[in-house]
Chains A and B, each alone.
Chain A
């Protein structure tokens, strides 16, 4: 990936900037944007304001707080303008410095990411605490420096949140049964920093990227496999500029590549009707639509149904772009939470399991199901959790 413009001033000199000049003002972006109807400045208007030399007004509006970096606009743009990846982060960065007050929950999350390497403010020494409960041996690079084929980049929500740890344990179990040669960074791991980039704070993102690259260079491995689509996004789109040249996989499509070995191990029948939610970073950004579905279909007793909006049309859970820490803000504004909007679709699909592949989605959808009262008839499971469940002990 070519180097990216670092500021709005630089933007016109780059191909991405020239693309923006070709905008038709068709409004597909604003129309597709899940919060397009409540933003003062949806993407189309931002470009219009840019052309009119009135971008200042966008910076002082809180409109960008409603952007959840879901890639819907970018996927639909007929000109292929790099909205989510290039323009919007640059505008968000300016908004951060111009907004009189940043919502406190978001502020705290950003401060915690900088200081502790995770948005929850948990100590780094507890990041690998889940390993004791994994049930299978997990190699940690700092303790055992032998090379491994894969560095499994676990990420924050997966490491610290109880439901995320369920995912970790499932992933570890599946990796182990497949004989994957992997190791983790353990307490040395810090957030990949994608949230910083798409969430306003390039400075934060750079700090984390510099740190992670230095840690990666200490060990020998061929590829990074990560449980988090946001981390995957960062490694794919941002880290190459810092010299990232390892193979890159997200756990779900990675396991999809191992389907032939995996299938015979899936011996327990799960009588579930499953609907799969395409996450934004894995789906629209990277186009991994079929691998998760193939995995689900390989599980005996699983029947797959689709929600109304699937694949490229999937509706974001609302966690990206800082949305994970802006629920209070959205509620105060009277917006419907995207996770609730999506949970309604899941409820209408006839499924009893909502399958996901992003750690944000588990807590967001479980909350939403509770709020809607669907939590007795629908459960949320990561694809990997379902695979692990389908394996006998």
Chain B
């Protein structure tokens, strides 16, 4: 395959997202494997200095346009499409995040090209790209080969370590222009979450509950464990959707990314959208009644059991131990 490997640098509200560096790490491997350069594409308005941190790539294409101040999917896609028509990369890696979802699909149909979604890894087999994807809520892995000269790949968070995508090197930055028209989609404002009572990202210990907690009442049990460990209660999306915990407690794709010293996942199945938000926690303990729950793939210790039985038992055991050592 000829042509560069391109990585979309995801910028949002003036910052580059972690996934940018994860994808640079992946893109670097793919580019090196194919023997072609790696290019990062950064689009926005007045954010050129962010390009400095993209040194893992050999070059950066920077597009400055007022209409690109906020990431409107159609405009981002049109930008990429115009650049790709002119410069013909062999691959485009796009993040699968709230900010960038849909852009990969739009670029692909705009260029009359295929797209591959749900990528967690890319390998080079016989000089061609083989994309490893995770489907069906994490249960099935599929290896696919995009045909043709261009692979447009949507990449899950966590495909590589972000640290491997950071570099001290200054990349060559080329400023390029595109022609954009006003979009029929307009961002009016951002609504920031109310300052919650608790900032989950600053907690050392999080006790997180999922559907397996079964009812709003039972969250009190989680609160007791959190209290005894000096931490806070968090929740996966279904719990927040039900209104059992406020938005400020949501961990996952549309919530917070956390890295506490201890993350206890209770009755959380481990869908990719949640894992994404807590996979870097130092110690992960999971309790779930389903032995096949994907959460056990990221947890360090796992218990197959009834959350509502295990939870109070654990709280009690810790209390006893604390009192014992207190008296010792």
B128: interface (CB < 8 Å): no
A16: interface (CB < 8 Å): no
Q: Are B312 and A327 within 8 A (Cβ)?
A: no
Q: Which of B241-261 contact A (CB under 8 A)?
A: 242
CB 8 Å contact bits of A312-333 with B (1 = contact, 0 = none):
0000000000000001100110
Task: Point out the residues of chain A lying under 8 angstroms from B177, CB to CB.
Answer: none
Q: Are B216 and A328 within 8 A (Cβ)?
A: yes
What residue of chain B has the Cβ atom nearest to residue A163's Cβ?
A: B306
Q: Are B217 and A328 within 8 A (Cβ)?
A: yes
CB 8 Å contact bits of A124-168 with B (1 = contact, 0 = none):
000000000000000000000000000000000000001000000
B217 interface neighbour in A104, A162, A331, A370, Cβ under 8 Å: A331
Q: How large is the interface on A (under 10, 10 to 19, 20 to 34, 35 or more residues)?
A: under 10
CA distance A331 to B215 in the complex (A): 10
Q: Are B215 and A328 within 8 A (Cβ)?
A: yes
Q: Are A105 and B217 within 8 A (Cβ)?
A: no
Q: Are A105 and B214 within 8 A (Cβ)?
A: yes
Task: Point out the residues of chain B lying under 8 angstroms from A332, CB to CB.
Answer: 216-217
The smallest beta-carbon distance between A234 and chain B, in angstroms, is: 26
Task: Point out the residues of chain B lying under 8 angstroms from A104, CB to CB.
Answer: 242
Q: Are A370 and B312 within 8 A (Cβ)?
A: yes
CA distance A331 to B242 in the complex (A): 17
Q: Are A105 and B312 within 8 A (Cβ)?
A: no
Task: Point out the residues of chain A lying under 8 angstroms from B214, CB to CB.
Answer: 105, 328
CA distance A104 to B217 in the complex (A): 13
What residue of chain A has the Cβ atom nearest to residue B242's Cβ?
A: A104
Q: How large is the interface on B (under 10, 10 to 19, 20 to 34, 35 or more residues)?
A: under 10
What residue of chain A has the Cβ atom nearest to residue B215's Cβ?
A: A328
Q: Which of B298-328 contact A (CB under 8 A)?
A: 306, 308, 312
CA distance A162 to B306 in the complex (A): 10
CA distance A328 to B217 in the complex (A): 6
CA distance A4 to B216 in the complex (A): 39
Task: Point out the residues of chain A lying under 8 angstroms from B308, CB to CB.
Answer: 367
Task: Point out the residues of chain A lying under 8 angstroms from B312, CB to CB.
Answer: 370
CA distance A370 to B214 in the complex (A): 17
Task: Point out the residues of chain B lying under 8 angstroms from A328, CB to CB.
Answer: 214-217
Task: Point out the residues of chain B lying under 8 angstroms from A327, CB to CB.
Answer: 215, 217
CA distance A221 to B218 in the complex (A): 45
- Looking at B215, B217, B242, B308, which has the most chain A CB atoms within 10 Å of its CB? B215
CB 8 Å contact bits of A179-221 with B (1 = contact, 0 = none):
0000000000000000000000000000000000000000000
The smallest beta-carbon distance between A61 and chain B, in angstroms, is: 22
The smallest beta-carbon distance between A365 and chain B, in angstroms, is: 14
CA distance A162 to B310 in the complex (A): 14
CB 8 Å contact bits of B203-238 with A (1 = contact, 0 = none):
000000000001111000000000000000000000
Task: Point out the residues of chain B lying under 8 angstroms from A105, CB to CB.
Answer: 214-215
CA distance A327 to B308 in the complex (A): 14
CA distance A171 to B215 in the complex (A): 32
CA distance A328 to B215 in the complex (A): 6
CA distance A331 to B306 in the complex (A): 20
The smallest beta-carbon distance between B294 and chain A, in angstroms, is: 17
Task: Point out the residues of chain B lying under 8 angstroms from A331, CB to CB.
Answer: 215, 217
The smallest beta-carbon distance between A267 and chain B, in angstroms, is: 33
Task: Point out the residues of chain A lying under 8 angstroms from B216, CB to CB.
Answer: 328, 332
What residue of chain B has the Cβ atom nearest to residue A366's Cβ?
A: B309
CB 8 Å contact bits of B269-313 with A (1 = contact, 0 = none):
000000000000000000000000000000000000010100010
What residue of chain A has the Cβ atom nearest to residue B309's Cβ?
A: A370
Beyond A327-B217, A331-B215, 14 extra complex contacts between A and B, CB < 8 Å: A104-B242, A105-B214, A105-B215, A162-B306, A327-B215, A328-B214, A328-B215, A328-B216, A328-B217, A331-B217, A332-B216, A332-B217, A367-B308, A370-B312
Ordered nearest first, which 5 A-B pairs have the shortest CB separation?
Answer: A328-B215, A331-B217, A328-B217, A328-B216, A105-B215
Q: List 16 A-B contacts (CB under 8 A).
A: A104-B242, A105-B214, A105-B215, A162-B306, A327-B215, A327-B217, A328-B214, A328-B215, A328-B216, A328-B217, A331-B215, A331-B217, A332-B216, A332-B217, A367-B308, A370-B312
